Structure 1
Amino acid sequence: MRLLSCAGPVLSCASLLLLACGDDGGSSNTGATGVTGATSLPATGTTGTSSGGLPTSTTGEPPGATSSDDSTGAPTSSGGPLLDVGTPDFGGGEECSAELHTACDAVDGDPLQAIGLNCPGELAVTGGFDGNAAGLRVISQWGQAATFTPREGSSFLVLSTGDLAEMHDVPADKGDVAYHCNSWFSPGDGMDTTKFPPPITKQPVQGDCLADPSLVGTGDCSKTIENQFEQSGFKYDYQELRFTATVPEGAESFSFDLAFFTKEYPTWKNQPYNDMFIGWLQSTNWTGNISFDDQGKALSLNAAFLELYDDAGDLPEFAGTCMRYSAGTKWLTTTADVVPGETIELVLAIFDLDDVNWDSFVLVDNFQWHCGDASGPVTEPVG
């Protein structure tokens, strides 16, 4: 991953932290924009090592510091299982240690802790953010309704294809929409815009990974990326958070919650060039996107889950934000099957398709291990 240094002439360490995580109030930009690369964030996680500049230590070291102990340890917590309503069979009547979790996140804090990982005494994961620091924040609320408040702990992660310093820059009316959250990062991806960083690939498998395990590793088991991506063939403003984890003993699946918003509504509704979110899982049973609707479409403006359409500019979910007069989903839950003890990699990525404008956002929270099987990757509305 590309590292964003605190030593350069563009950003000081202090301004980097403000730019990367910023608060969730106001629209002023306190840091420089247009700086690409992975960013170091405050060290507030559990014991573990970090790659890509995302610390997981509780040592109180400065941003970018990492711990030398990579022990996963035995999960210990005073909390109980945190299970989503309506999810598949997640164990029997006995409490499963893999599900024990006590939230440790904080606004402006570590993004992995913000989504429910790397808390003290729990399984340590290693990971990092790659993209433009202005497109990542850890906040406590989006809009002025209770809809987009934390699903776990006191905060959640936001990734954006544009500058999140503009998140409270509210359009005056429909004609003003194009002048708010319609920014881009220079130099775009900083990578080949026709390809994804490994292990993500648009290439679909030639069959069913669940029926034929030999297909795992030959492409996207979901077959949800290529058709959407090839409408244009070019991605820009690519932002990702990825981590590697050893699945705890007893855990046979995991889940996380997300919500997708896009400024491309209504201008690009039913048009081919729609920004996308991909949740890529690299595991024993699956290699591919795991966040898609029941029609096999990746999450974008044309996904079936979009139900918040702010045509009148009066939805409380988008009040006070640049999403006024735009559209998005409510909270969704993605669930996927894993094998206890295996090492998995999860990449959460969002990007513009075909253009560098018309920002899109993904909220992520509430990562959980579960001690029951999932029949296969599934994304469904929370509750």
Structure 2
Amino acid sequence: MQAKEQPIAEYKEMAAAPPVENESMADTAAAEMQGEIPEARLPADKPEPTVRYLSADDSNSSASPVIARKMIMEGRYVQPAVIRTYEFLNYYTFSYAPPADKPLCIIPRMRKLAKDDEYSLQIALRSMDRSFDELPPFNFTVLLDVSGSMAGEAADRALLLVRRLAERMHTGDILSLVTCNRRAELLLDSHVVGPGTAKMLDVLLGGIIVNDITDLGKGVLLAYEVAGKNYNYRYLNRVILISDGADNTGKAAVATITRYAEDSDRQGIYLAGIGLGSGFNDQLMDAFTDKGRGAYLFIDSEAEIERILEERNFIANFDLAVKNVRLKMVMPPGWQLEEFHGEQISAKAEDIVPQYLAPNDQMIYHMTIARKEEDSTAGGKSVRQDQQQEAPFIFEAEYTPLGGVKDTIRLEASVSDMLAGRREILKGDAVVEFAELLKEIRTPLTENREENLSVFDAAADNIREINREIDDPELADILSLLARYRKTLEYGERFPGSRDRNSDEPAAVLGISANSLRAFSFNGSHKKEAIRALERLGQCTRLVPQEGYRFLALSSGPIWNPAPAGSGQLSGSGGKDPLPEYMGQVKIRAIEKKVFDLHQIKLQLKAPYNARSFSFDFNFFSAEYPDYVNQEFNDSFYAILEAASTNRGRTTNIAFDADNASIEVDNNYFQKPFHPIPNTGTGFDYHGSTGWLRTSWPIEGGELFTLTFSIHDEGDGIFDSLVLLDNFRFHNYEAVGTTDPLN
């Protein structure tokens, strides 16, 4: 999707802009040098120019293409919501020459497109180069998420990243380490990096055990306190958050980051975020780094760790060249903007949030523009296309040098000037085509196969044609990814080992191995209406299974009831609340309550002998929201465990929020601020849900246990609730027993 313009009248003239130094482009495209172009005067009787202010996001944020690559390599559909085209332009490399004597330079390029009178326009704001030896000393405070949701591969990569980061630092740099789960702990304070650092970190990191819930707010608070205490204006002062973003108290964490980022901006303490993990919360991490004014990166492999820490990328990711960058573009009369592929665009400067530019880097503003027809007029005067061709475009970039005052650089360039250089805009066009293609693919894949393949093949052909001309290794990598993704679009998502492609059997849909299942039963009066294996819920296309091809729906009313608020009662008779004896490790006081439309799935399972924990994912929806929040109509979902290793086999609800409350409309997760999947099309469009959550719980190897998924209406049986269940797994690592939000 292209950025939408603000519905604001265009400025009538650009002459009101303050006088700035005039710069220009020369004909030598290969060297990307600058020369003199006379300033153009716009006659008063000509149509007015189009003025736009642009933002392309901070130059060092580039998580989106790595997340997309991870999905493609896993054989999954790439969710359009994770695609931010401007981050693709940040991630891939461009060979723009740095400025000779200023903090940044403006390099615009144009390319004629196949459609009549359409051009791509790419403007680069290039910073000065800086080598590793030229960097000041580092004061890095690493904030490491050690909550239960990080268990397994995510924790292994996070610990490796900390080790590699320390290896990249100079002797004499300052390294501190804060960990957080339910509480924040300072493990390392003001350590001076030296020959013994690697050995010390091996011991320190080797003692970390990931468990419990995530309270990033506490971690951020402590990390900024440590960074502030150790602050030195001669150093690069950074807080580096390493997390999957599965924060149980997201709103509080963002508020803390916002407050400290505002204070720290004055000192130069910025927050960089590095995301990882299979349940990664992209929106939350994006919000963190946006407020923290630092890089937003994602790790999908050890190779990506090495890429992030490679010298040139390391400097671009953690250093800063100039602040408060905002670009003004004045298009001459007769030109119009068709699509903008950046973050923000407006006719008003105050609508655009200024961004930060790193050394060795560029901000890239990419768009499609078009020449208007010859009969376009203003004041009865027509604009001839040859005049359009020669009238200059004007670019003004405002910025603030580090430790300096606000400044502006200005460039005028004609269309012929901008058409002179091709390589960088060809690559930019290909990268944008790749990102925009990923947004265009529609689900369900089977139903949209022919249309998707037609759109896909046209885009892939364009990228292939561009790469024939420039022979770029990164475009070759993109084409390899596309070849893999085409198979997903043609044959559907493929999940080797999943048993639910052609099976509605609940254990298969949940992802449970046939070797682990001992018995299965269903409790409730309306099995056909209240339990069902689904590829999607209602008409929702963004809510996809977490494992395999289907998820299991368990409901207190008819599944896919178009009106779950008021017409879903299955039985007029009530029953006893199946409230377990324990909520986690806390004994519950028994309360006699009458419930309605109780339905349960009961599984008897045997854990593999090497298992130390298990997990499952769920998403709870309720029509009780928002009208009946904090009232007696608290429809509830329980996951009731009976295992000798937990509370001596007594019934225990293992799905609850950070406040030890059961899953219902009043819990901490319901309609949380970073709700990554909208309810549109689910039947609960005007109600609410938790989003995907993951419960992890300890188990003993070889243990026989019972797990009961239970849902019911409270107060009455009129308004429905529903839970989606999926992705049950045993693990060979420990879990403390938590429920965490996923993306």
Instruction: Give the TM-score range, shorter chain.
Output: 0.5 to 0.7
Name the % identity: 26
Report SS of the residue matched to 2:544.
coil
In the alignment, the residues of structure 1 paired with residue 519 and residue 634 of structure 2 have an alpha-carbon distance, to the nearest angstrom, of 31
Structure 1 residues 316 and 297, CA gap change in structure 2 (3 angstroms)? closer
Query: Which residue of 536, 540, 551 corresponds with 1:156?
Result: 551
Q: Which amino acid aligns with 2:571?
A: S
Q: CA deviation at 1:118?
A: 3.7
Partner of 1:137: 532
Structure having the larger proportion of residues in helix: 2
Partner of 1:126: 519
Q: How does 1:181-192 map to 2 (within 5 A)?
A: 182-188=567-573
1:289 aligns with 2:653: yes
Structure 1 residues 317 and 137, CA gap change in structure 2 (3 angstroms)? farther
Deviates more, 1:293-302 or 1:109-118: 109-118
Partner of 1:96: none
In the alignment, the residues of structure 1 paired with residue 587 and residue 621 of structure 2 have an alpha-carbon distance, to the nearest angstrom, of 19
Q: Which amino acid aligns with 2:726?
A: D
Report SS of the residue matched to 2:517.
coil
Query: Which residue of 681, 688, 691 corresponds with 1:330?
Result: 691
Deviates more, 1:142-151 or 1:247-256: 142-151
Query: Which residue of 616, 623, 629 corresponds with 1:269?
Result: 629
1:239 aligns with 2:302: no
In the alignment, the residues of structure 2 paired with residue 225 and residue 158 of structure 1 have an alpha-carbon distance, to the nearest angstrom, of 27
Note if contact 2:711-2:722 (Cα within 8 Å) is conserved in structure 1: yes
Partner of 2:270: none
Structure 1 residues 85 and 372, CA gap change in structure 2 (3 angstroms)? closer
Structure having the larger proportion of residues in strand: 2
Partner of 1:378: 738
Structure 1 residues 225 and 147, CA gap change in structure 2 (3 angstroms)? farther
Query: Which residue of 194, 197, 216 corresponds with 2:576?
Result: 194
Note if contact 2:560-2:683 (Cα within 8 Å) is conserved in structure 1: no
Query: TM-score with structure 2 length normalisation?
Result: 0.31
Q: CA deviation at 1:123?
A: 3.1
Partner of 1:117: 512
Query: Which residue of 247, 250, 265 corresponds with 2:610?
Result: 250
Note if contact 1:247-1:341 (Cα within 8 Å) is conserved in structure 2: yes
Q: Which string of whole-angstrom CA distances, capped at 9 and with x for unpartnered residues, describes residues 233-256 of structure 1? A: 111111111111111110010000
Partner of 1:312: none
Note if contact 1:117-1:367 (Cα within 8 Å) is conserved in structure 2: yes
In the alignment, the residues of structure 1 paired with residue 543 and residue 569 of structure 2 have an alpha-carbon distance, to the nearest angstrom, of 25
Q: CA deviation at 1:270?
A: 2.0
In the alignment, the residues of structure 2 paired with residue 130 and residue 290 of structure 1 have an alpha-carbon distance, to the nearest angstrom, of 19
Q: CA deviation at 1:223?
A: 3.8
Note if contact 1:254-1:337 (Cα within 8 Å) is conserved in structure 2: yes
In the alignment, the residues of structure 2 paired with residue 303 and residue 224 of structure 1 have an alpha-carbon distance, to the nearest angstrom, of 18
Partner of 1:350: 711
Q: CA deviation at 1:86?
A: 3.5
Q: CA deviation at 1:126?
A: 1.5
Note if contact 1:141-1:149 (Cα within 8 Å) is conserved in structure 2: yes
In the alignment, the residues of structure 2 paired with residue 157 and residue 278 of structure 1 have an alpha-carbon distance, to the nearest angstrom, of 15
Q: CA deviation at 1:153?
A: 0.4
Partner of 1:57: none
Q: CA deviation at 1:222?
A: 4.1
Note if contact 2:695-2:740 (Cα within 8 Å) is conserved in structure 1: yes
Q: CA deviation at 1:364?
A: 0.2
1:321 aligns with 2:716: no
Partner of 1:52: none
Q: Which runs of 5+ in 2 are unaligned?
A: 1-146, 157-495
Runs of 4+ in structure 1 deviating by more than 6 angstroms, as ranges, are 90-93
Query: TM-score with structure 1 length normalisation?
Result: 0.59
In the alignment, the residues of structure 1 paired with residue 697 and residue 543 of structure 2 have an alpha-carbon distance, to the nearest angstrom, of 23
Structure 1 residues 226 and 89, CA gap change in structure 2 (3 angstroms)? farther
Q: Which amino acid aligns with 1:293?
A: D
In the alignment, the residues of structure 2 paired with residue 308 and residue 331 of structure 1 have an alpha-carbon distance, to the nearest angstrom, of 11
Partner of 1:18: none
Partner of 2:619: 259
Q: How does 1:200-239 map to 2 (within 5 A)?
A: 201-204=579-582, 221-223=584-586, 226=589, 230=591, 233-239=593-599
Note if contact 2:600-2:708 (Cα within 8 Å) is conserved in structure 1: yes
When the two chains are superposed, the root-mean-square deviation of aligned CA atoms in Å is 3.1
Q: CA deviation at 1:274?
A: 0.5
Note if contact 2:677-2:691 (Cα within 8 Å) is conserved in structure 1: no
Query: Which residue of 713, 727, 737 corresponds with 1:366?
Result: 727
Q: Which amino acid aligns with 2:517?
A: A
Q: CA deviation at 1:88?
A: 2.6
Q: CA deviation at 1:322?
A: 2.2
1:88 aligns with 2:151: yes
Q: Which runs of 5+ in 1 are unaligned?
A: 1-83, 94-100, 172-176, 205-219, 310-314
Higher-Rg member (1/2): 2
Report SS of the residue matched to 1:125.
strand
Structure 1 residues 224 and 378, CA gap change in structure 2 (3 angstroms)? farther
Q: How does 1:4-153 map to 2 (within 5 A)?
A: 86-89=149-152, 102-106=497-501, 109-119=504-514, 122-131=515-524, 132-133=526-527, 134-142=529-537, 147-153=542-548
In the alignment, the residues of structure 1 paired with residue 510 and residue 735 of structure 2 have an alpha-carbon distance, to the nearest angstrom, of 21
Structure 1 residues 280 and 202, CA gap change in structure 2 (3 angstroms)? closer
Count of equivalent residues: 251
Note if contact 2:540-2:681 (Cα within 8 Å) is conserved in structure 1: no
Structure 1 residues 291 and 128, CA gap change in structure 2 (3 angstroms)? same
Q: Looking at both structures, which has the greater relative contact order when contacts are Cα pairs under 8 Å and sequence separation is at least 6?
A: 1
Q: CA deviation at 1:344?
A: 0.7
Q: CA deviation at 1:155?
A: 0.1
Structure 1 residues 108 and 187, CA gap change in structure 2 (3 angstroms)? farther
Structure 1 residues 235 and 141, CA gap change in structure 2 (3 angstroms)? same
In the alignment, the residues of structure 2 paired with residue 137 and residue 154 of structure 1 have an alpha-carbon distance, to the nearest angstrom, of 13
In the alignment, the residues of structure 1 paired with residue 503 and residue 573 of structure 2 have an alpha-carbon distance, to the nearest angstrom, of 25
